[in-house]
Amino acid sequence: MRFRFKEHYDQDIRLFADLADGLRYGSLLLGAVLLPFVLDDFLLGEATSVVIWAIAGMGLMLLTGHAGQVSLGHAAFLALGCYVNAILMNSFGLPFPLAFLLAGVISGLCGVAVAIPALRLHGLYLAIATLALSMLTEDIIVLAEPWTGGVIGLTAPTPEIAGLVIDRYAAPDLFYWLCLGVAVLVTLGYRNLLRSPLGRAFIAIRDSEISAQAAGISLARTKAAAFGLSCMVTGWAGALMGHFFYSFNHEVFTIILSIQLLLMIVIGGLGSIHGAWYGAVIVGLIPQAINLVRDAVGTVAVPGLETSLFSVLIVLFVLYEPHGLHGRLTKWKVWLDLFPFCRRDMFRRQKSYLRTERFR
């Protein structure tokens, strides 16, 4: 067995638990950087899609997984970031770095504005309110035709940084590295946020709002900050998604996208940054796995097969592993670390609730 002995409290909030942990993440990052040298353009495009999904998943994970605020309207903020970035570049001539940064900031400010009337909502009622926002987004995009292009949509200009043209089709490796760089920065920022007092306040509110209030945490300010930061990251993911699609309209950002984003983090594992990445990999690989199996068997395309498979995965994880893929992998790791001293019922599910949370 391998033990980690702690000598002071600072070890609980270190970025990496130990040197081996840091080397493991460093090797993963090195492998991700080297992917363009071993994959063709098609597979590299799929890897880029996974990275963008991971950024969007981290945005929603911050709000739902760590702050405990369920949202079914994050497709609206994906659309906001996508359209704001394209409009700032097309109509105002702003360079990509500035337009990209402003797209996230504007999305975050809109998230704070949405949070203000939704502060008193909890659970299902908050989900319904954000669902209504997602449903309104398509109509707003169509009605704002002078800016958004209506049903025709917009075309995202090619990003350019310091004279380097990052074309999604002509230079897929550069675009992949751009998305990977944003994902790494978001991941590091997310990890450091969880080590800060604000991140710990998010988790306190998620676990028990009454206990958080008793500890002196302001629910209004903390929830507004959670919405703002979550929507800012989601807006950046939407901006990259616009460049990935090249052309887009209101049909891209439907309510199905919001539901898929929420189910993605549930499959990956709520309350963990790893869960956003695992869920993104699952969402990115399911369509390609279906295509490979169909080509190998030689059958025709079955309508709705992807959605059906995704739904089955959701049901299986909710019934047998509520902590998602990350929770299952963590249990396997703990079991191997404790072997042969592990017990059969060491991971028995806790089915009791706090008395203060039963009647919410």
- Spell out, as residue ranges, where the chain has pLDDT lower than 70: 1-6, 11, 300-302, 304, 344-360
Q: Which residue has the tokens 């203000």?
A: 116
Cis peptide before 159 (omega within 30 of 0): no
CA distance 35 to 54: 17
Q: Give residue 345's pLDDT.
A: 67
What residue spans define the domains of the chain?
39-338
User: CA 191, 196, 202, 208 torsion: positive or negative?
Assistant: positive
Buried b vs exposed e over 200-217: b needs ≥16 C-beta within 10 Å? bbbebbbebbeebeeeeb
Contact 71, 64 (CB under 8 A): yes
pLDDT at position 350 is 57
Least Cα distance to 119 among 222, 213, 194 occurs for 222
pLDDT score at 358: 44
- The DSSP bridge partners found for residue 209 are none
Cβ atoms 56, 179 nearer than 8 A: no
Q: How far apart are CA 125 and CA 120, in angstroms?
A: 9
Taking the CB of residue 351, how many other CB atoms lie within 10 A of it?
Answer: 5
- CATH classification number, 39-338, choose in 1.10.287, 1.10.230, 1.20.140, 1.10.3470: 1.10.3470
- How far apart (Å, rounded) are the C-alpha atoms in residues 247 and 229? 27
Question: Nearest to residue 50, comparing CAs of 76, 68, 32?
Answer: 32
What are the distances in angstroms from CA 266 to CA 97, 185, 324, 350?
32, 23, 6, 18
